[in-house]
Structure 1
Amino acid sequence: MIQLHDLQFQPYLSSEEIQETVQTLASSLVADYQDKNPIFVGVLNGAFMFLSDLLQNFNASCEVEFVKMKSYEGTSSTGEVKIDLDFSDLTNRHVIVVEDIVDTGNTLVKINELLQTKNLKSLAFCSLFLKPEVYDKDLEINYVGMAIPNKFIVGYGLDYNGLGRNLPEIYQLKEAQND
């Protein structure tokens, strides 16, 4: 059990389980993009650890960009996506957007809208985690590491009000106990 700010979190996924999932995703991406020199676009802040490990397992030529977007306050999505850091020139390139987690899908929809104006050769979305219970968008997520329940999680890049990103494991919010 760990404490972050005012909340307690319990262990959910080990670092070994996460790394196995990352390696599987990387293998799929290499199979599809081996000779295409894709640009991986990491969505900051949450995707930085996942993207780093993903690229270490991507045994082919590639480039990296980042976009910074924010849609969370505390443990819930605000419904509004703010962009703090925009894209460079992606014209005629294979682009793979890398997210740590997709729940509502609002961030992906916003990124997709922005990238549709960039004259890309191709566009794919990759997320380590997907919450299918709350994802209701039509946008296809081409590469999903793991579907998880609609529980708030931290660790491996994911945070609760700034804390927990550095944890190598994933923890989920502890349910309140009735006494």
Structure 2
Amino acid sequence: MKRIKLHDRCFRLMIEADVIDREIERVGTQINRELAGERPLFLGVLNGAFMFVADLLKHITIEGTEISFVKIASYAGLSSTGKVQDLIGLREDITGRTVVILEDMIDSGESIMHMKKMLEEKHPKQVKVAALFYKPKALKYDLTIDYKCIALENDFVVGHGLDYDGLGRNYPDLYVVDEGTNEN
């Protein structure tokens, strides 16, 4: 079994990259079908969503598609801080536009709820949410995730854009923390 070590933690392979890629392609096909003619603005949430954004946009064929990024943070170490911070803001005029938030991971839903509120104040036509990974059991809000790739249990994972204190984003596979092999 493939394992990696990041800082003081060991992680074991959970989902291989080809499985992730197939799910991203499936969601891209769904978005193309549902948003045809919308001229959507895809809004990637940095840092984690960079791989998801790049992988998904390879499959988007909608004419007039644009991409932008915002950076927010709510994690420290292995857990959410519960506080969302805007770090880099939206510069585009989204009045009357369809906006699709591209998020690497939705767990509590705090970050997405914060972003949706911020975006709705700018009068878009509609705001959709796409998640590479999501944790249904961790959701604390009644949140619609319009485009879902892969559901996970409430475990800490790294890879495919997700990190543990800055490390692990570069791995194409997804790894889960392996509690039995971590250093104390």
Partners of 2:106 and 2:143 lie apart in 1 by: 11
Aligned residue number for residue 76 of structure 2 = 73
Partners of 1:139 and 1:129 lie apart in 2 by: 14
Q: Which runs of 4+ in 1 moved over 4 A?
A: none
Q: Does 1:31 align with 2:37?
A: no
Question: Map of 1:2-41 to 2, 5 A cutoff?
Answer: 2-41=4-43
Partners of 2:161 and 2:25 lie apart in 1 by: 17
Q: Secondary structure of the residue that 1:91 maps to in structure 2? A: coil
Partners of 2:36 and 2:158 lie apart in 1 by: 32
Unaligned stretches of 5+ residues in structure 2: none
The TM-score normalised by the length of structure 2 is 0.94
Aligned residue number for residue 52 of structure 1 = 54
The TM-score normalised by the length of structure 1 is 0.97
Q: Secondary structure of the residue that 2:83 maps to in structure 1? A: strand
Partners of 1:22 and 1:75 lie apart in 2 by: 25
Structure 1 residue 8 displacement after superposition? 0.1
Q: Secondary structure of the residue that 2:100 maps to in structure 1? A: strand
Range with greater deviation from structure 2 (7-16 or 56-65): 56-65
Aligned residue number for residue 131 of structure 2 = 127
Structure 1 residue 176 displacement after superposition? 2.5
Partners of 1:33 and 1:145 lie apart in 2 by: 17
Instruction: Identify which of 59, 64, 68 aligns with 2:67.
Output: 64
Name the count of aligned residue pairs: 177
Partners of 1:77 and 1:108 lie apart in 2 by: 13
Report sequence identity in percent. Answer: 38
Question: Map of 1:89-108 to 2, 5 A cutoff?
Answer: 89-108=93-112
Partners of 1:4 and 1:143 lie apart in 2 by: 30
Partners of 1:102 and 1:147 lie apart in 2 by: 10
RMSD (Å), alpha carbons = 0.9
Aligned residue number for residue 43 of structure 1 = 45
